[in-house]
Amino acid sequence: MPSMDTGKPRARRGFAAMNPERRREIARKGGASVPGEKRSFAKDRDLAASAGRKGGEASRGGGRTRGTREG
């Protein structure tokens, strides 16, 4: 298998390229752009659970548990 290391330094992009002050400014905002009334999962635990279950099934990961192997 070929190595991912080509010897060249990788270009810094996204958050890595920003100065720490700018990163803190963005992180401080968190989810503030979404109004509270739009955060339905925060209010409705059952809705969040059903969405998570649905996503797990769609990702073909539903039903499997750790430590078991299919042979």
Q: Dihedrals φ, ψ of 65, to 5°? A: -120, 160
CA distances from 28 to 18, 31, 35 (A): 15, 9, 16
- Tally of CB atoms within 10 A around 17: 10
Nearest by Cα to 42 from 69, 51, 57: 51
Please report, in tens digits, the pLDDT of each residue of the chain (71 residues total). Answer: 455 666 677 788 888 889 999 988 888 887 677 777 777 777 788 888 888 888 888 877 555 565 655 54
pTM above 0.85, yes or no: no
3-state secondary structure of 11: coil
